[in-house]
Structure 1
Amino acid sequence: MDRRTFLRSVTAAAALTGTGGLLAACNANPAAPAPNSADVAKGGTLYILSDLSVQQLDPAKSQNLAITVLGLVHRRLTSWKIEEGKPATVVPDLATDTGRPSDGGKTWTFTLKDNVKYADGTPIVAADIKYGIERSFAAAFTGGLAYHKKLLAGADAYKGPFEGSELASIEVPDPKTIVFRLTQPYGDWTWIASTPPFAPVPKGKGTDASYTEKPIASGPYQVTSYAKGVEVKLSRNTFWDKGTDEARAGLPDDIVIQLGQQTDIISQRLIADAGNDKFAFSVPFVAPAQLAQIQGNQPAKQRLVTSKSGALAYVTLNTRRPALADPKVRQAFQYAVDKASYQIASAGSAELAGGIATTLITEGIAGREVYDLYPAPPGGDVEKAKQLLREAGHADGIGPLDFVVYNSNNYQKKGEAVQAALLRAGIKTELRVVDSEAWEALVTGNEGTYDLTVSSWQPDFPSATGNIQPLFDTKEIGNGGYNTARYSNPEVDKLITQAQSTVDPVEAGKIWAKADRLIMQDSPVVPLIYTRNSFLHGSKIGNFVIGGFPAYPNFLQVGLTK
């Protein structure tokens, strides 16, 4: 399952991913696309319907993507430009550029733009960026994205600013300049600077847990009221200057986030398209049952927007379990699975579920190469799977294997589809359905007492490092890491370090592609599909666009039609 199922505050549904060259996203009914930018106007109230009870607006605690809710309230040093039909690119946000590397990529320097202010009119200064990042190290403000914590020099022993200390590897020589000194060359630091901890927090603010309810806004909107489990109201930050911000349109006057809504009820409301729901869109993905209903409702079908691609869904094979230690046995799984049946279990149809996957680097990510080391029909090649098992000394098959799945987001049905396919080849499994906490403890903990699981993954930013490093780096085994295959290959670890240290994205992409192939030769996971995410919106919503990455609409550009 996708870790964001229970961590990411943008959505409570699994799927990314992690997820995802970059192509235009598809509307579920291409003949009737969502209104584009020419149809939207400034003004009005936008409604966002969410199944979450809490909207996390503290940048230290948030795992929001750069183009979702947090980006409406907080700016960062860099951001993402997402357009239909064009690649996702990193763009300057509070900074004048996307960062200037030196010392081979171990040092990065940013300069702040003129006329960037908080909602109270106070200028944003470089020290605020430094303090916001330092604040994310405090024990009381954990839970957010933490790539910077492993990369900033001296960060391993740093405990945050509330004990009177500063992180020396973040330097602020003047109010507009900030310098980061890293432990290693890191070409993706320009993307790291777009993650939530790089939002400014005025020094001395955000000292208690209530900051999520009353954050100091730097984006086009500020919080006017926050009722847990009910709603969050946002209004304009009059000091936000569109001339300094190419990532955000800032079109609606007000935004109301309705919390605690049931997922199926959200879909029913948007299908009905009545009252304020005409000016609303859903945060959770549309569930398979509602997708089937929408296909027979032409007006609603015209308002369903589906990503072209998204997260990689895959079967994890725990390489440290005796039955799965032999690579030839693991390769048999590549042929035994029925990817077509997994598509049906996921979304009811191949079109809505997503295309069949054969690689680890998802669509929309630089460095992705299309290849298939284990060519088979969509339904699998059972005889080839049996042949590999015989060659490995298992003429009578293997099992039963412990197959653990998460108890929500249709994962039991998905697991049953995989289970039935494996049985055809003589691979017997026992399906164990657990809740999110148990799944998390089991597959990311240190003991690893399971054989199989089904997961999905989409990177936190559009770089292959997010596809490969969290899932296959030896350092990510146990201790909460997401190397759930418990896969360890020193050559892969070396390629990960080499790719991350390469500043040129084209050259880095070549190294990531090499790592992708090497991992697949060892077969620690079985790629299933590149998932597609479907979202529904009201008839008065315009500029509702999903790019090639990520598989989510760009909240920052949504407006209301004239």
Structure 2
Amino acid sequence: MSLPNKRGATAATASLALLAALATACGGPANGSTAAAFDPATCQGGTLTVLAHSGQGKFDPAQLYTSGGGKVPTLVFRTLTTRDHTTAGPDGAKVVPDLATDIGEPNQDATVWTYHLKPGLKFEDGTPIRAQDVKYGIERSFSPELPGGPPYLRDWLVGGEQYQGPYHGGGDLASIQTPNDSTLVFQLTKPEGDFPFLATATQFAPVPQAKDTGADYQKHPISSGPYEVVSNDDGKQMVLARNPYWSRSIDDQRLACPDKIVYTSGLDPSVINQRLLASSGDDARAVSGDTDIDASVLARLNGDPALRKRVAVGNFGETDYLAFNPKVKPFDNPLVRQAISYAVDRQSVINAVGGSAVAKPATTFLPDQAAFGYTPYDDFPAGPSGDPAKAKQVLAQAGYPDGLTITLSHSTTSVTSGPDVATAVQQALAKAGITVKLDPSSDDDYSTKIQTPAQEPGFFITGWGADWPSGGPFLAPIFDGRQILTDGNFNTAQLDDPQVNAEIDAANRLTDPAQSAKAWGQLDVELGKQAWDVPLFHPVYQRLFGSAVKNAYVSQWNGVYDLSRISVK
């Protein structure tokens, strides 16, 4: 998913701007509850409050852009698979069964996937969950009336490109077969070893056709998870209460400790941190929904051990980087791209987004997590502050012994791709004899410009976040030549290399996670040598929680709290 204007809401860096004034005051992430163990004594009811800046939006499983994590939708919608909610840290990025008995049975080339539902599954009204309900839930996500979900199903399922959903006589999608009430068979257009990851998306949540109210379904979707929707103000304010037909005996992934969950949005990030810092009344049993700690919290961490214990630290698969368009001179010259790679001062960029407490330097495109296939490399080693002398040497080899002038496009307001980062890059490149002119655009205009090949600038700041922790949704959208689009394009280099495309296909065929990760890591190493981009940093997430909250940790799948594990006193 593209950053900063993501296609989905998998991660947020809402309060990074507030950290800029305190760049490296704490010298790194707090040693908070990064992998809190479950305490059975605290799993005894109560009300958990989630304080958020952004609303949930349309709370319809067809329209949500979320998968596998522990956000609010996971409390209401069970899916065929999910992330491992029982484990904090890197192992929590693994796929495990949810409604299904396993993570899926592929045929030999991973073009057919079969799932079997667990026995005893029920909706909130006590009716059984059937394979046909899962099929219907997926089919309705194709309807033009329900936009917003991820695009993979349309691309991956046979007939998906033309299918318009079951409304208006659209019929069913023949590539999803239900030979009986507990079996689903998916026919894919091409091998996809990552299908178990996709099956964590809310589009795989069962929807009973008789209860489908179309665009109004989001007001009261039928729960298959531990909580049902009591009230929903367009995703801005929501109240969830226990689903009486759910139990831990049929769901080993969600603890569902609180009796009630109240989601409140529209809050300023600073207000969220102030309320959690004070931790009084209901706020003692509250967590941040989408806001990182701000400067006021950071400034107190070293001197307040009790407060440090109320900060959860985690990572999400995201890389922010400088992008080149080789169709624009002089970026068609690999040596120019290499010279810029040597010249970049990553530490100054990290300081610009808030310091080492919230970001760590990146020299690889893949995030530094094993699930993605991370393989360390640094093809243009320049240390944390850049190597302007080496950059000048390579620039001379490129035919620019006296330096050159280029333009860097950036957003006007984004923290990660905005003026502060652009200025840091400008100052670093100046030391190497490269004059950088800055070209700012409003966020909406900027997104349109960098995602439209006909308008794409030669040099700009962007980022990519994972839809799930695998190399596939990270490298393919950026480097697969068959994914170059006339608009909404993320292949910034507009690279269409048959060899790269073939390696992407080969990696997609792999269904063993270890083999898949190795293949994506090898491809990342190969691509890195070409300097199609300059990785800058990977974000670090630090989030505060109330003093009466237990078992809080930040999921490495999506960088937010796993609400399904949290308990309150």
Structure 1 and Structure 2 fold alike (TM over 0.5): yes
Q: Aligned residue for 1:65? A: 67
Select the residue among 458, 479, 495 that pairs with 1:472: 479
Separation in structure 2 between the aligned mates of residue 515 and residue 14 of structure 1, nearest angstrom: 32
Q: Which amino acid aligns with 2:506?
A: Q
List aligned pairs for 1:141-160, cutoff 5 A: 141-160=146-165
Cα distance, 1:85 vs. partner? 4.5
Separation in structure 2 between the aligned mates of residue 10 and residue 359 of structure 1, nearest angstrom: 18
Q: Aligned residue for 2:465? A: 458
Report if the CA contact (8 A) 1:338-1:418 is conserved: yes
Q: Aligned residue for 2:49? A: 47
Q: Aligned residue for 1:484? A: 492
Separation in structure 2 between the aligned mates of residue 95 and residue 37 of structure 1, nearest angstrom: 25
1:167-225 CA distances to partner (integer Å, 9 max, x unpaired)? 11000111111100111121111111111211111114444322222111111111101
List aligned pairs for 1:362-511, cutoff 5 A: 362-405=368-411, 407-409=413-415, 411-478=418-485, 479-511=487-519
1:319-347 CA distances to partner (integer Å, 9 max, x unpaired)? 22122111111111211111111111122
1:343-374 CA distances to partner (integer Å, 9 max, x unpaired)? 111223x2432244334244142422112211
When residues 242 and 521 of structure 1 are mapped into structure 2, their CA distance, relative to the original with a 3 A threshold, is: same
Q: Aligned residue for 1:23? A: none
Separation in structure 2 between the aligned mates of residue 335 and residue 519 of structure 1, nearest angstrom: 17
When residues 482 and 125 of structure 1 are mapped into structure 2, their CA distance, relative to the original with a 3 A threshold, is: same
Matched, 1:128 2:124: no
Report if the CA contact (8 A) 1:45-1:252 is conserved: yes
Cα distance, 1:78 vs. partner? 0.4
Separation in structure 1 between the aligned mates of residue 133 and residue 32 of structure 2, nearest angstrom: 47
Q: Which amino acid aligns with 1:79?
A: T
- Identical counterparts, % of pairs: 34
Report if the CA contact (8 A) 1:4-1:14 is conserved: no
When residues 10 and 538 of structure 1 are mapped into structure 2, their CA distance, relative to the original with a 3 A threshold, is: farther
When residues 364 and 49 of structure 1 are mapped into structure 2, their CA distance, relative to the original with a 3 A threshold, is: farther
List aligned pairs for 1:282-361, cutoff 5 A: 282-286=288-292, 288-295=294-301, 298=304, 299-308=306-315, 310-348=317-355, 350-361=356-367
Separation in structure 1 between the aligned mates of residue 82 and residue 310 of structure 2, nearest angstrom: 27
Cα distance, 1:557 vs. partner? 0.9
Q: Aligned residue for 2:83? A: 80
Matched, 1:8 2:8: yes
The number of equivalent residue pairs is 551
Q: Which amino acid aligns with 2:553?
A: V
Report if the CA contact (8 A) 1:313-1:457 is conserved: yes
Select the residue among 102, 110, 118 that pairs with 1:105: 110
TM-score (norm 2): 0.91
When residues 361 and 494 of structure 1 are mapped into structure 2, their CA distance, relative to the original with a 3 A threshold, is: farther
Cα distance, 1:92 vs. partner? 0.7
Q: Aligned residue for 1:30? A: 31
List aligned pairs for 1:184-263, cutoff 5 A: 184-228=190-234, 230-263=236-269
TM-score (norm 1): 0.92
Moved more, 253-262 or 448-457: 448-457
Cα distance, 1:291 vs. partner? 4.9
1:256-303 CA distances to partner (integer Å, 9 max, x unpaired)? 000111111111111111111111111223255345434366243331
Report if the CA contact (8 A) 1:309-1:354 is conserved: no
Provide the secondary structure at the position in 2 that maps to 1:157: coil
Q: Which amino acid aligns with 2:84?
A: K
Provide the secondary structure at the position in 2 that maps to 1:421: helix
1:446-504 CA distances to partner (integer Å, 9 max, x unpaired)? 42331222223221112110221112112333321322233332211111111001223
Matched, 1:544 2:552: yes
